[in-house]
Structures are given as structure tokens and as C-alpha cells.
Structure 1
Amino acid sequence: MLAVLLAALFMALLDVFIVNVAAPTIGTELHASGADLQLVIAGYTITYSVLLITGARLGDRLGHARVHLAGLALFTAASLACGLAQGSTELIVFRLIQGSGSALMIPQVLSLIQRHFVGEARMRALGVYSAVIAVGAAAGQILGGVLVSADLFGTSWRPVFLVNVPVGVVLLFLGRRVLPRDAGAEPERARAFDVPGLVLLASAVSLLTVPLVLGQEEGWPLWSRLSLIASAVLFAAFCVYESRLARRGGAPLIAPRVLRHPGMGLAVFRILAVMAINAGFLFALTLHVQGGLGFSALRAGLTFAPTAVVFGAVGLTWRRWPAAWQRALTPLGFVITVPAVLGVGLAFEGGDRGGAVLYVAYVGVGAGLALAFSPTLTRALATVRPEDAADASGLLSTVAQLGQLIGVAVFGTLFLNRLESLGAPGAYTSAKALLACVFALAGTAAVGAVSGLVLRRR
């Protein structure tokens, strides 16, 4: 059961990033405008982020296995449609649908783990879950580069979508046999579906997500800034409404006791920071090696292999380390990340292509982010009550996704603005822009390292 769930999770996470390295080829072959290409990449992320909480609550109401399989079927069908699309408009629509399938599918993975694993088995399952959820980012870049460069049967960019189809069909076949047949919530709880809260939260996330994924390319126009302000207002309105609903004895979209769970606030902040660093690092490095150094899609994708491999290895093994180390692992991870990301920037300084030091730095980034992320997520979820699994799943999945969007928006903007201010494009100016970006990434990691001390004292 765990293998089937995590394979579906990994496939869905790949699609957040796998299209990045295929984007230039898609634009050329479909004669897509810059705006079209941007929506091809961002459309999946937008619907995925907006509907995650909705997907979690639907699973709680209708049955987690049932909703997971429905989302997997929708994702697989949309992947086939994307791979066969003949124009950019078709591709954009199918990417939106693909993201909707992921939003239904992914929250159920964590909910099913929470409900069907106990004790040590749950801790191990959560450890593997956290490793998969973060390795997917780097693995998407790698697989995208491999598939585009291979040009299988002359299909160019299409395999980045079509690869999901046979995998999805196999997982649907297996899932119907190994996933538990849950019936969903009891009728009393099913009737208490928080529609106003759902509308408020979906609107707030939409108003945050859309400018984050589209604002940079558009030069941060007035609508994007107004959208971010409106998002903050709606988030505040959502919090007020949910608090009042809970006091009246209603069933809020996210149970207040989940937010008050010991360590949950700190976990949310750390997961947000880790995913922002991870996404910002991958985004800036991709722009540098492809745009500044002229790497091919394949070589650019393989650039991330050391980080992905180490991240996965550390994420899967950290619980076997001495018990005396466990509490210090998360801040240690942030501490390791600081010199590691700086090492990557310094290795490329002056337009160089790096050397042995670069690969040591890649390993440090993978190890540091894994230690900062995996223990945080595992501990935050290990003691959540099974009946709160859907709430915790939706909350932390949404936080992780928003962290990635914020990382790309903030650190990507810093990189691109620095590159523009330096003048003529090239390896040297791109390296300077990357260096400015990694200093900001290192500063964020340093904040993550001390966050536990500050929040615990408060």
C-alpha cells in the first residue's frame, strides 16, 4: 500500500518541475507566446495549490482511497491529453485539469498513512514520505532533461507527459486491490462541510498563487500587487471565520486543535523555509547553467543529481542515527545549508563551471535540506490524531507548495533583477546574479536555524 501511494505522490510531484526544462522546446514546436508558455508551466501549480485543502476535506468526507483513485484517474487522463495536445491553448487547459487531479490525489497519501500505520511503522512511513516529497523537485528537473534530450521516437517534449500514462494505469490497477475500502466520514460529519471557509481559503490561496507564478514575467504590474494585498485580507477573514465557527461548535475546514498542536506552528515555518530555499536554489541554478553556461537540457537536469540522491539517502536514514542527535538534526540541517549554498555560488564565481568543491557543495545542500525537512515533517505528524489526518495533510501539503512558490518568486526575482542590472548577459554576469541569490538563500537558512529557539521561548 505504501509503495503504491508514494509512487503516485512522486509522479505528481515530478510534474511540478519536469516541464521546466522542456519549456523552450514546447514554445518552439507549438509556436506558443511567452504568456502561453508561462501558463503551461504555472497552470498545474495554480490549480494544485488552490485545491489541496479541498482535496483533503473531500477525502475525509467521501473516503481517502476513493478520492485518491479518482484523482489518480483524472491526473492520468489529463497527462495523456497533455502529451497529445496540438496547440498551446489545449495544453494549458489540460495542465489545469492535471493539477486538479494532483490536488485530489496527494492529500490522501498522508491521510492514509496516518490512519493505517501506527507506532514505529508510522514513523518510518512518514520518513519515506518526507524524503519523496522533497526529492521530487530535483528529480523532475533530471527526468525532464533526460526525456527531452532522448527525443523518443521523434516525440520531442511529449514524453514528459506521456510517461505518466503507463505508470498511472498500473497504479490504478494496483490501488484498487491494495488500498483500504474506506467509506468516508459518518453522515453527521459529512453534512457539516464548511463551504464558506472553503470559498474563503480557495480565494485567498488563488490571489496569492497567481501573482507569485505570473508576476515576475509581467514585471509585477499593479494587479499582482493588489492581488497579494487582497490575499492577506482574505486569509485574515478566513482565520476569523474559522475561529468563530469553532466556538459555535461547528466543523471548521481546519480544526483549531491541529493548529494548536505542540510544535505545529514551528513545523509550518520550517517547512515553508525549507521548501522556499529548495525551490529558489533549483530555479536560480537552472537559469544559470542553461542561460549563463549554455548547458543542454540533459546536462542541466543531471546537475541536480547529487543533491537529489543525497537528499533521498539522508531522508530515509536519519531515524537510524543515534537518539542523542535527533533533537538537533533540524537546526543542524539549516546550519549545513548555509555554507553549502554559498559554496555553490562561489564555485561558479567568475563564470567558472565549478570543480570538485562544487560537488561537495551539492552534497551539502542535499544533506542540509533533508535534515531540515524530514525530521520536521515526521515529528509534526507522528502524534496527530487519525481523525485530524485530513486537516494536517491539507495544511502541510499547502504550506510546502506555497513555500516553493514563494521561493521561486522571491529568489527568482532577486536573480533576474540582479542579472538585468549587471548588463550584458553571459556566464560572468549570470554567476554574479547567482552569487547574490545564494547569499539570500544562506540568510534564510540561518533564520531557519535559530527559529526553534525564538518560537519555543515565545
Structure 2
Amino acid sequence: MQATTSGRRRWLAFAVLLVGAFLPPLDFFIVNVALPSIKGDLQTSDAQLQLVISGYAAAYAVFLITGGRLGDLFGRRNIFLAGIAGFGLASVVCGLATSPFILVVGRVLQGLSAAAMAPQGLASIHALFPIHERSRALGVYAATIGLAAVVAQVLGGALISANLFELEWRIIFLINLPVVVAVLAGGLPLLPNARGDDPAPVDKVGVLLCAITLGLLIVPLVEGREHGWPWWAAAMLIASPVAGFSFWQCETALARRGGVPLVSMDLLRMPGLMSGLTGVLFFYVVSAFFLFFSVYLQSGLGLSPGAAGLVFLPCGVGFFIGPLTTPLAIRAFGKWVPVIGMMLEVAGCLYLAALVAATPAHMPPKFAVMVAVGLIGFGQGWALPTLVRALIDRAPATGSGMIAGITNSALQISAALGVAVMGGVFFAVAGDTPSPVSMARALVATMLCVALSLLVAAALSVVASRSSTRAALKPATA
């Protein structure tokens, strides 16, 4: 179905699909301000708290490309509605959880459901809109994701502080239910059930091996420290690259047989793509900042969830404004915009680390904190969309969809690994009986690690840009 609906109807349909773009990042970030409350209520360990975040991100990352494939095969409306229904049920599991294990299971189910619904909105733009309206639709789509980051921290803190129906932290999950019901009611009559022009079957073995590889890597990184690095943690870490190599062999063999792998290894050999994707893995580690700064504000300084959420507001506003100024930035700085954005983030991380180090047991000056977190948000707003666009532009037209899916998956994998690795740093420095001072030291160490990761990402972005430029010049000099 190619843009056959009326203008008003297709924008209403797109509004329904945008919920699928809004909920996944919202539920990723909104949990951060709730973690201290969850820890007190369910008696969760530090490792279990990390799994609440990284389990969601990992499940979302592994199945994101598969979700897009399922939409091509079975119809985007069908998969979107199945995903949103699953997200609602998973939210109930999280909201009614009576143990850390049930909460982690619910979060993984949320990630799986998000992976089904999220790709359908972007994929449906071509089915809903004529060519002259697609740029506007893409702009609205990008702004919606940015708005989710703005809303999440503040909304989460406000909901928990309000303690609606005495649900405390559980309300951040159960609030999804009326949204899901409204989307299901509106989606059935409004959404076209478009499919891909030539849908490829799902690479089931590839999906399984990818999930095993990530599980073998993330679980020991999260659980190993708390259990004293037992033998099984070491065994899983050793097995992870073996599983990764098996995944690579499986994908290569499938491509040679004429199939469509989950990840095209030939496509990844394009100049600049591997270094660019590796840069993405280092870049989105900054997501861990939201988690551990929130833990420090509430558990270290004693701020309420609502007050902690407001501290993040300048970051969210910066992330929302950043993409709006990106066209001007590109005209002024060209291909250097992602690197400049990451350097702004580094500056924000280092400034915040210095502020916390100077007043370890007290809240630093509010305006200075606003500047630091605002720099992080604005830099993220410049770096994220331009970094993704640069990667997609390096791929051939026939592979742009797959690279977009791989890039989004890499961002979520980076978030999961960031929580796992930075969590190890934070909780190791904070100690078994953390005090405000030890938690301040832990946050400083974590912010320095995040800044270092961003510097590596910026360097890899430069390498990727130069590699693709050299490749583009080869035919002209031959």
C-alpha cells in the first residue's frame, strides 16, 4: 500500500505508530530514577539492578533487525499490534513483580516486544506518505525519539514522588497500560498492513547465535563481580568470542548459499563501516551515565525521585534541541559534527566529575550541574543522528536498510555493555557499604571511563570518515 490513504488519515495512522517509537526509549530511561526505590522494595542486589537495564537493552538489540523482518513477512500492522500488546503484558509483569527475578524477566519481555513494534513505524513511512511528505514524517519521527529522552527522567521522578494509588515505583510500568489500550483501539482501523516488496525469511540460526553471544558476554560482566568472579563467569566470557565466531561463520555460509543473513558480512567490509560501527559501540556507553548519576543523586545525596528527575532536565532539553540545530552545524562544520558533539559530551562528563569530586558529600552548585548535564545532552543531540546518518550513507543503496538496523542494534548493545562494564566500575569503587563520599568517588571514576569511551568513539569516527573518503577517491586516481 503506497500512500493511498487521505492526508488526515495517514497522519493519524502515523501518530499511532509513533507510540511504538516513543515507548522503547522512554521505558529504557524512565527506570533509572526508580532503581533506588526498586532496590529498597524488592531487596535487589547491585547486579540485579544492572540486569533490569541491560536485560531490556540486550533483548531489544538482538531482536531489532528480526522485528523489521517479521513486519516485512507478516505485515507491519500485525507485528506492530502484537508488539504493543506484548509490551503491555510485559509492563504488567514488571509492575506486579514480587521479586528481582520476575522484574528482570518482565524487562527482557519488554525488550523483545519493543523490538517487534519499534521498526514498524520507520518502515511504514514509505507505505503511508508520498515522496514530498516523507522528509517531514522522518523529522517528526526523530523528534519523537528525542522527546522520549526529555520526558523519561522527569516523568519517572514525578510519578514516583506523586505515589499514585500508593503504587510507588510500579506506576512507571503500569502507566503503559492505558496507552497500549488506546493504541490497540486506534491501530486496528487506521494502520495499513503493508509488507516488504520481497521479504526474506528470518535467519533463525543467526538470531539464536547472536543472542547466545551477547548473553555469554553480558551476564558474567554483570553478575561476576558480585559473586567473586566464579569459574562459570570466566567460562562464559571465554565462550563468548567462540559463539561470536560461530555467528560470523553461519552468516557467511548463509550468504554463500544465496540466503539473506541477519547481518551481511560482505556489507560490513565496505570501507569505514566496521570502524564506524565499533565507534558506535563505544559511543552509546554514555547511556550508563543516566543510571549511575541517578543512583548517586538518590542513594548518595538523598534526593527524592522527583528532584533527581529534574536534575536531568537540562540534559533532555539539550538532546531535544541538538538535532534541531544539526542542519546549521553541518553547514558550518561538515563531517566533523559527530566528533564535535562527542567532544561536548566529554567536556560535560569531565566538568561533572570535577564538580562531584570537589563536593563529594553535597550537591554541587545547581547552575554548574545544569551546564554539565546540558553539555552532555546537547552533544548527544549533535552526535547521535549525524553518526547514524554517516554510517547509513557509507552503505550502498541496497544495503542501507540492513545497516540502519545493525546500527540501531549496535546502539542498544552499547547501552547494555555500558551498564554492565560501568556498573562493575561504579559498584567496585563504591564498596559493599557505600557512603556519600565513596559513591561520589564511584561516580567520578565512572564519568572518567565514559569520557574515555567517547574519546575512543570520536577517534574511530575520524578513522571511518577517512577510510570512506580514500575509497571514494580510488576510482578517480586509478
| TM bucket, shorter chain | 0.7 to 0.9
Structure 1 residues 260, 44: closer, same or farther in 2, change over 3 A?
Answer: same
Is the contact made by 1:56 and 1:390 (CA closer than 8 Å) also made in structure 2? no
CA contact (8 A) 2:84 2:180 kept: yes
Change (3 A) 1:180 1:377: farther
Query: Is the counterpart of residue 406 in structure 1 residue 417 in structure 2?
Result: yes
TM-score by length of 1: 0.86
8 Å contact kept, 1:267–1:380:
yes
User: How many residues were matched structurally?
Assistant: 452
Structure 2 CA distance for partners of 1:115 and 1:395, relative to 1, 3 Å: farther
- Equivalent positions of 1:79-158 (< 5 A) are 79-85=91-97, 90-113=102-125, 122=134, 125-126=137-138, 129-130=141-142, 132-133=144-145, 136=148, 139-158=151-170
Q: Which amino acid aligns with 2:348?
A: A
| Aligned residues of 1:75 and 1:101 also touching (Cα < 8 A) | yes
Q: What's 2:29 paired with?
A: 17
Aligned twin of 1:60: 72
How many Å apart are 1:210 and its aligned residue? 2.8
Contact kept? 2:352, 2:372, Cα under 8 Å: yes
Equivalent residue for 1:275? 284
Q: Which runs of 5+ in 1 are unaligned?
A: none
Separation (CA, whole Å) in 2 of partners of 1:128 and 1:226: 46
Q: Which secondary structure does the structure 2 equivalent of 1:201 belong to?
A: helix
Q: Which residue of 2 aligns with 1:287?
A: 295
> Which secondary structure does the structure 1 equivalent of 2:255 belong to?
helix
Give the 3-state SS of the residue equivalent to 2:242 in structure 1: helix
Structure 2's unaligned 5+ residue stretches are 1-12, 468-478
Distance in 1 between the 2:397 and 2:184 partners?
25
Query: Is this contact kept in 2: 1:145–1:301, CA < 8 A?
Result: yes
**Which piece of structure 1 moves more, 168-177 or 393-402?**
168-177
Q: Write the deviation string for residues 354-399 of structure 1: whole angstroms up to 9, x where unpaired.
A: 2222211111111112111111223434686787565334312221
1:334: Cα distance to partner?
1.3
Aligned to 1:341: 349
> How does 1:392-403 map onto structure 2 within 5 Å?
392-403=403-414
The alpha carbon displacement at 1:404 in A equals 0.6
Stretch moving more, 64-73 or 216-225 = 216-225
Inter-CA distance 287–28: structure 2 relative to 1 (3 Å threshold): closer
Q: Is 1:318 matched with 2:318?
A: no
Q: Is the 8 A contact 1:56 1:393 kept in 2?
A: no
Structure 2 residue 261 is the aligned partner of structure 1 residue 252? yes
82-91 or 309-318: bigger deviation: 82-91
Q: Give 1:403 shift.
A: 0.7
Q: Which residue of 2 aligns with 1:353?
A: 363
Q: Does residue 1:195 correspond to 2:204, yes or no?
A: yes
Partner in structure 2 of residue 224 of structure 1: 233
CA contact (8 A) 2:339 2:462 kept: no
SS at the partner of 1:295? coil
Counterpart-to-counterpart distance in 2, 1:262 and 1:96: 35
Change (3 A) 1:177 1:323: farther
Shift of 1:206: 2.5
1:454 maps to amino acid? V
Find the aligned partners of 2:144 and 2:110 in 1 and give their Cα distance. 20
Distance in 2 between the 1:413 and 1:36 partners? 12
The match for 2:195 is: 183
Number of the residue aligned with 2:471: none
> For the Cα contact (< 8 Å) 1:345–1:435, is it kept in 2?
yes
Distance 1:32 1:197, change over 3 A: closer
Of 236, 239, 243, the residue aligned with 1:234 is: 243
Once the two structures are superposed, the pairs formed by residues 197-216 of structure 1 within 5 Å of their partners are 197-216=206-225
Q: Distance in 2 between matches of 1:63 and 1:388?
A: 21
Within 2, Cα distance between the matches of 1:68 and 1:127?
21
Deviation at 1:433, TM superposition (A): 2.6
* Distance apart, 1:426 and its partner CA: 3.0
Cα 1:440–1:28 shift into 2, 3 Å: closer
Distance in 2, Cα, partners of 1:447 & 1:12: 27
> RMSD across aligned C-alpha pairs, in angstroms?
3.2
**Equivalent residues of 1:131, 1:311 under 8 A apart:** no
Task: Report the AA paired with residue 70 of structure 2.
Answer: L
1:36-57: CA deviation from partner (whole Å, max 9, x where unpaired): 7666555534533333333232
The answer to whether the 8 Å contact 1:272/1:402 transfers is yes
Q: Specify whether residues 105 and 384 from structure 1 end up closer, same or farther in structure 2 by C-alpha distance, changes over 3 A only.
A: farther
Contact (CA 8 Å) 2:272, 2:466: kept in 1 or not?
A: no
Higher alpha-carbon deviation: 315-324 or 225-234: 315-324
**Cα distance in 1 for residues equivalent to 2:52 and 2:175:** 17
Amino acid at match of 1:441: V
Partner of 2:443: 434
1:363-374 to 2 correspondence within 5 Å? Answer: 363-374=374-385
Deviations 1:387-426 (A, max 9, x none): 7565334312221111111211222222222233xx9743
TM-score (normalizing by structure 2): 0.83
Structure 1 residues 227-249: Cα deviation after superposition (integer angstroms, max 9, x where no partner): 23322222222122222322232
Distance 1:34 1:338 in 2: 26
State the AA in 2 paired with 1:281.
F
How far apart, CA to CA, are the structure 2 residues paired with 1:250 and 1:240? Answer: 14
- Contact residue 216 and residue 240 of structure 2 kept, 8 A: yes
Alignment partners' CA distance in 2, 1:263 and 1:125: 29
d(CA) in 1 for partners of 2:145, 2:238: 30
Q: Secondary structure at the match of 1:181?
A: coil
Cα pair 2:126 2:134 within 8 Å, conserved: yes
Amino acid at match of 2:113: G
Q: Percent identity?
A: 38
Distance change (3 Å), C-alpha of 1:60 and 1:36: same
Which amino acid in the other structure matches residue 271 of structure 1?
A: V
The answer on whether the counterparts of 1:108 and 1:390 sit within 8 Å (CA) in structure 2 is no
Q: Where does residue 464 of structure 2 map in the other structure?
A: 455
Question: Is the CA contact 1:340–1:362 (under 8 Å) kept in the aligned structure 2?
Answer: yes
Question: Distance in 2 between the 1:86 and 1:340 partners?
Answer: 38
1:49 match:
61
After superposing the two structures, state which structure 1 stretch, 86-95 or 308-317, moved more. Answer: 86-95
